[in-house]
Every structure is written in structure tokens, then in C-alpha cells.
């Protein structure tokens, strides 16, 4: 049998008649998406592409409002608020229209969005006169949508004082292996995500030499001093034995990428491969460049290190958590700061949520303390390690030691005093101060737990290199206890979370790569009650009378933990001062981590205290 010329075959995709579950499109919006069709005309296993339909993948209906405000302004200083409607997968709901009531801005009480607004509005010229901490709330009563901005602090300060500015330092556009052009990528970062700066990081070996000038032109065209800064960069992705992943940032929009191998789609005889990592160090010597040790694959080898170039490590991205990079760098005595990025390739820098694939977490963000929204000021802040990382939310964090800021190295003859201020986007579970890799102070100092509640959590990665993601699809059954209510914890993707639930059992879908997922369970439990947990990596019987419980499972920090649900602090703001007992010899790094009750996290860059 075969098809003669002129005969057709009709495929009806997504039609649920006849019992089909239908077809779900990819979870991210994309113009000109090709539904690629290939055929094997002779049954030889040799498939050939045929002309295929091209469609636009569009966002679904709005399911939430996102409000983005600057983290700090001066009294009376004009600022802008970005308001965005998103569908369940984090795409801008471009057809959304609605009336949104606002709280927290006396000069603006409501705003209307029309379909022509594309699901977003940037409202400029706003002012707040009174110092303090503000959060702006938006609500569309008719559509049942609501959202709250990140904390905004009105704070007096001198001209040129350091400001917290937010950016995304990792991701790819279509010039490499992403979605949308570099110009579209940067426009989204500025107009949709409300970022202060952005640096696409295409894999150098994936960018054809003929397309690199278009990346440079997008960087130039979108750099807008005072509103939005762009930085040119690329990813050097050598194998682990050759040094592993490194993100290169350049101080200017000039310069060509150094590749660990020739470009994938064109022969590049003019520029040979720059491999292994010491050759990249040599090539960048004397150039206005810095290197970020990347947390995504290939896994970096920290045995390779250039202290002049490598000033930062990545502790979080949408591909998972990698705080081990900071821990190992400090154990080796390196002076590094921390950043987080989205690792975004779907065209949504600064507003990156995982879909149904192997991305596991909300994209991270980096906050720098800079003197201005300019490329030069942000570059200087990154070089000085004056920055911190979050798992996505714009948690406001200030850390100082004897008046010295994040990233500084200073000499002291007395024990340091650390001051910490946090304003979260949710209730703060805990704030921890670390001396090197030792936790030396925790706030609140004691957490009795919530009566009648337990937290079941699991996390870690399969390895530091690919494949990192671990499937945790599993189930839990109660013996001698009844489930009164359950709250999913740490799930960032709508494709994951609770699947089935009853009074004595539940099941879930989960995927982690260094990050943590879990469940908050309210139980009616009698003496001798236990939980049975079944997952690909674990088959556990956990007596509730013996909590807390923790089982290590190998891999790269794989674990299951069951504990009383933390009571938390009951507050979204914290301010604490901690005094070191004695001056430690040598150079000692101090840094702060923050965890919210919703699982969101922040890491400060260390401050390095030198005795003597």
C-alpha cells in the first residue's frame, strides 16, 4: 500500500471524540511554531521532512496577576510599577482585559487593561513620600485574579547611594538554541518582567559566527541608561574534565565569544576552539571580562580557578539548585560571590516558570547593589561581588559586617558584628548566618513546630552533571492517622504536585535537581501512627513518634525528610544583629541564607574578614 500523487492523509490532532485525551501544546507561547512532519516513504528507517504546518502557540486565559515594583526608591522619587497577567504556565496572557483595583498607592487606586495592552502595563510617574516598607496589591474581582508586589522600601539616601537592582544573568535566544531573537529576549526582560538589567548567555558553540553581530546589536539597542542595562555574554560549556560550565560576561558590547569547540552550524576556521579551561583564562587575560562558575551542565570543576576572572558562582537556576558550588569554593579558600539566573531558553527572562519538561524550578534572579541603572555601575557591582541570589522572588536582603557590604574583604582586629535586614515576599521561616560552611546562628532560634502538622520533603539531584533531575513520583499512606488537609510545598510547575488524595493516602508527581518539593500535612494521629512513603528512590516506614526523620539516598544530596511543620516566624520582615564570639585566624567568610515558608530562598554573597 502507498499514496499516489495527489492523495492525502488527514490527521485530526486534539479531537477528544472517540475517547482520545486530546493533544496538549507545549507550555510556552511561541510564534511560527513548526509542527514538524517526517515520513519514511520506503520503510527503510530513513525519515524525510515534508512541508509542515506552522502555527502560533498562544497563552491560555489569565490565572494570576504579577506586580513588580523597584525594591528601593527615595522619598518623592518617581518610579514605575509593572503589572502583568499570566496564564497557569507563566506566559503573559496577552488577550487579558480587566479592571484591576490597587491598594498601597494613594495616587492610583485602579487601572484598566485592554486586549491591545498585551497583558502588561508599565505605570510610570508614581511617587511615595513617607519612608517605610510598601507592598502594592492588585485585584480583578470579576475575573477572580489577584497579586501582590515585591516589597518596596522608601528610604532616604544620598545621591549615588547603592540601590538594589534586579537582573537575569543566564539564558539563550534563537541565535543559539532558544526561542525568539536576542532583541525579543531583551524586550521581554525590560517590558514584561520589569528587570533592571539582563545578560543573555548563549552557548558559544551554538551561535553561528554570522549571527553573533545580531546579538551585539540587540545588546546595544536595548541598553537604556537610567532604566535598563544590558550586558554581553556567552556560555563556555566545556566538558567537566576540561573545566566544566562557565558563563562569561563582558564589560562592553564588543568582542567575540571564545568557544570550547567550533560553532555547531558553520565551520569557523578564523577562531579555533579554546579548550580546556586554562586556555579560556589565557584568552580573556587583560580583557574587561569576568567569569561566573555555572551551576548547569557540564558540571564545573572547581579545581580549575582563576581568582582574577572568576568572582561569582551560580547557586540557583530554573534547572535546579547548586549551592554546593559556594560551599566547595569556600572550602577551597576562594573569594567568590553568588548569583542566580533563569537559564531561560523560551524567551521569558526574569519571569521563568517550569513547564512539563525537565526544568524543575522557578528561574532565579540576581540582585546587585549598584550606584545607578547603567551597564558600568552594574558591571562594577558584579566585579565587587556586591550581589545576592534568590530562587525567583524579589526578597529584599541587606547584609553588612562592621559597615562593610556583601563581597568585601576587610581586615579587623576585633570579632565582626553582622547586621541583617530581610523583607520577604512571604512569611520568613528562618534566617541563618554561616561562618564558612558552618551555620553559627539561626533566627528564630527555636521553632516548636505547628501542633498537628508535619512536613514531608524530598530533594537533591541525581548527579552534579547531566542527568541531574530525579523523578520522585510517589505515594504516601497513613497508618493510625487521618489526613485532615494537605498543602503542596515547593512545586513550581502545574504539571507536578498532588494527583490523588484521600483521608489516608495521597500520590504526587515530582521532579527535583537540587531543589526541594514536599507536602504539608495536617493529621489527626494517634499513638503509634506512621507514614509509609513510596517513591522511585525510597520505600520508607516513618513512625510519627520519632520525628524528625531524615534518610540520605546518595546521588548529589538526595534525601527524604519528615519533621514537624515549622511554625515559622509569623513575620515577613526581620532585622537582627549577631556578634561573633572571637576573631578567627586567617580569612573567614560570613554569609546569610533566607528561607520562606513557601520554600523560596535567598543567599547573600560572603563578606570576608581577615584577622590582624
Q: How confident is the model at residue 466 (pLDDT cuts 50, 70, 90)?
A: confident
> What is the pLDDT, as a whole number, of residue 271?
63
pLDDT digits (tens, 9 = 90+) for 415-427: 999 999 999 999 9
Architecture of domain 395-447+569-612: Sandwich (2.60)
Spatial distance between the Cα atoms of 126 and 81, rounded to a whole number of angstroms: 8
Q: Specify whether the CB–CB gap between 562 and 549 falls below 8 A.
A: yes
21 beta partners: none
Q: How confident is the model at residue 98 (pLDDT cuts 50, 70, 90)?
A: very high
Provide the 10 A C-beta neighbour count for residue 3: 10
Q: How confident is the model at residue 25 (pLDDT cuts 50, 70, 90)?
A: confident
Rounded mean pLDDT, 371-381:
97
Rounded mean pLDDT, 509-534:
97
596 beta partners: 428
Which grid cell sits at 37?
512532519
DSSP states of 152-171 as a string? Answer: EEE----TT--EEEEEE--B
Q: How confident is the model at residue 266 (pLDDT cuts 50, 70, 90)?
A: low
Q: How confident is the model at residue 265 (pLDDT cuts 50, 70, 90)?
A: low
> What is the pLDDT, as a whole number, of residue 72?
98
Residue 4 has pLDDT above 90, yes or no: no
Provide the 10 A C-beta neighbour count for residue 109: 10
Spatial distance between the Cα atoms of 101 and 85, rounded to a whole number of angstroms: 14
DSSP H/E element including 331: helix 324-331
> What is the pLDDT, as a whole number, of residue 3?
79
Rounded mean pLDDT, 524-534:
97
> What is the pLDDT, as a whole number, of residue 10?
81
pLDDT digits (tens, 9 = 90+) for 195-215: 999 999 999 998 988 999 999
Spatial distance between the Cα atoms of 356 and 509, rounded to a whole number of angstroms: 11
Closest CA to 193 of 92, 315, 63, 339: 92
Tabulate helix, strand, coil % of the chain (nearest 5): 10, 40, 50
- As a whole-number percent, the residues of the chain with pLDDT over 90 amount to 89
Provide the 10 A C-beta neighbour count for residue 583: 15
Provide the 10 A C-beta neighbour count for residue 567: 16
Of 3.40.50.1100, 3.30.9.10, 3.40.366.10, 3.20.20.140, which CATH number belongs to 164-392? Answer: 3.20.20.140
> What is the pLDDT, as a whole number, of residue 1?
58
Spatial distance between the Cα atoms of 288 and 249, rounded to a whole number of angstroms: 9
- As a whole-number percent, the residues of the chain with pLDDT over 70 amount to 98
Q: What is the largest CA-CA distance in the chain?
A: 89
Residue 264 has pLDDT above 70, yes or no: no
> What is the pLDDT, as a whole number, of residue 158?
85
Q: Specify whether the CB–CB gap between 41 and 9 falls below 8 A.
A: no
* pTM of the entire predicted model: 0.96
pLDDT digits (tens, 9 = 90+) for 310-337: 999 999 999 999 999 999 999 999 999 9
> What is the pLDDT, as a whole number, of residue 262?
73
Please give the CATH topology (third level) of the domain spanning 64-154: Immunoglobulin-like (2.60.40)
Q: For residue 555, what are the contacts with CB-CB under 8 A and spacing of at least 6?
A: 460, 461, 462, 463, 470, 537
Amino acid at each position: 500500500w502507498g499514496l499516489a500523487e495527489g492523495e492525502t492523509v488527514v490527521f485530526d490532532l486534539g479531537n477528544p471524540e472517540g475517547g482520545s485525551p486530546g493533544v496538549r501544546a507545549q507550555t510556552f507561547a511561541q510564534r511560527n511554531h513548526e509542527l514538524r512532519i517526517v515520513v519514511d516513504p520506503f520503510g527503510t528507517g530513513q525519515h524525510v521532512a515534508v512541508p509542515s504546518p506552522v502555527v502560533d502557540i498562544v497563552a491560555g486565559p489569565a490565572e494570576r496577576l504579577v506586580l513588580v515594583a523597584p525594591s528601593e526608591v527615595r522619598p518623592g522619587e518617581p518610579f514605575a510599577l509593572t503589572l502583568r497577567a499570566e496564564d497557569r504556565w507563566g506566559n503573559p496572557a496577552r488577550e487579558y482585559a480587566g479592571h484591576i483595583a490597587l491598594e498601597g498607592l494613594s495616587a492610583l487606586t485602579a487601572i484598566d487593561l485592554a486586549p491591545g495592552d498585551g497583558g502588561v502595563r508599565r505605570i510610570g510617574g508614581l511617587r511615595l513620600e513617607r519612608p517605610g516598607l510598601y507592598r502594592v496589591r492588585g485585584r480583578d474581582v470579576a475575573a477572580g485574579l489577584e497579586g501582590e508586589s515585591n516589597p518596596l522600601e522608601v528610604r532616604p539616601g544620598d545621591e549615588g547611594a547603592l540601590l538594589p537592582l534586579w537582573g537575569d544573568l543566564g539564558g539563550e535566544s534563537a541565535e543559539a538554541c532558544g526561542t525568539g531573537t536576542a532583541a525579543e529576549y531583551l524586550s521581554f526582560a525590560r517590558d514584561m518582567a520589569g528587570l533592571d538589567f539582563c545578560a543573555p548567555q548563549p552557548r558559544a558553540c551554538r551561535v553561528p559566527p554570522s549571527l553573533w553581530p545580531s546579538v551585539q546589536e540587540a545588546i546595544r539597542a536595548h541598553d537604556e541608561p537610567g532604566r535598563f542595562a544590558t550586558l554581553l555574554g556567552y556560555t563556555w560549556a566545556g566538558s567537566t574534565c576540561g573545566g566544566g560550565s562557565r558563563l562569561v560576561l563582558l564589560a562592553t558590547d564588543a568582542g567575540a565569544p571564545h568557544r570550547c569547540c567550533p560553532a555547531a552550524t558553520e565551520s569557523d576556521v578564523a577562531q579555533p576552539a579554546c579548550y580546556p579551561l586554562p586556555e579560556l583564562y589565557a584568552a580573556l587575560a587583560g580583557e574587561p571580562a569576568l567569569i561566573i562558575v555555572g551551576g548547569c551542565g557540564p558540571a564545573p570543576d572547581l579545581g580549575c580557578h582563576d581568582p582574577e576572572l572568576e568572582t561569582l558562582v551560580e547557586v540557583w537556576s530554573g534547572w535546579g539548585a547548586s549551592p554546593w558550588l559556594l560551599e566547595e569554593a569556600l572550602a577551597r579558600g576562594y573569594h567568590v560571590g553568588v548569583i542566580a539566573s533563569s537559564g531561560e531558553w523560551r524567551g521569558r527572562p526574569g519571569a521563568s516558570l517550569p513547564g512539563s519538561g525537565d526544568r524543575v524550578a522557578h528561574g532565579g534572579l540576581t540582585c546587585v547593589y549598584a550606584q545607578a541603572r547603567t551597564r558600568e555601575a552594574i558591571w562594577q557591582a558584579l566585579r565587587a561581588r556586591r550581589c545576592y541570589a534568590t530562587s525567583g522572588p524579589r526578597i529584599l536582603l541587606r547584609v553588612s559586617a562592621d559597615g562593610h557590604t556583601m563581597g568585601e574583604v576587610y581586615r579587623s582586629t576585633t570579632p565582626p558584628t553582622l547586621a541583617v535586614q530581610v523583607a520577604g515576599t512571604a512569611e520568613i521561616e528562618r534566617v541563618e548566618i554561616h561562618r564558612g560552611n558552618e551555620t553559627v546562628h539561626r533566627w528564630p532560634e527555636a521553632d516548636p513546630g505547628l501542633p498537628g502538622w508535619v512536613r514531608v520533603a524530598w530533594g537533591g539531584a541525581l548527579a552534579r552533571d547531566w542527568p541531574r533531575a530525579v523523578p520522585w513520583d510517589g505515594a504516601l499512606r497513613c497508618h493510625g492517622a487521618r489526613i485532615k488537609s494537605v498543602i503542596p510545598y515547593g512545586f513550581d510547575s502545574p504539571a507536578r504536585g498532588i494527583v490523588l488524595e484521600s483521608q489516608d493516602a495521597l500520590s504526587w508527581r515530582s521532579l527535583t535537581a537540587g531543589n526541594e518539593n514536599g507536602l504539608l500535612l495536617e493529621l489527626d494521629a494517634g499513638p503509634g501512627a506512621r507514614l509509609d512513603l513510596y517513591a522511585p528512590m525510597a520505600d520508607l516506614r516513618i513512625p510519627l513518634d520519632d520525628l524528625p526523620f531524615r534518610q540520605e539516598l546518595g546521588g548529589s544530596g538526595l534525601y527524604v525528610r519528615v519533621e514537624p511543620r515549622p511554625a515559622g516566624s509569623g513575620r515577613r520582615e526581620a532585622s537582627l544583629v549577631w556578634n561573633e564570639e572571637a576573631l578567627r585566624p586567617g580569612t573567614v567568610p560570613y554569609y546569610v541564607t533566607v528561607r520562606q515558608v513557601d520554600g523560596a530562598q535567598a543567599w547573600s554573597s560572603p563578606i570576608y574578614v581577615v584577622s590582624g
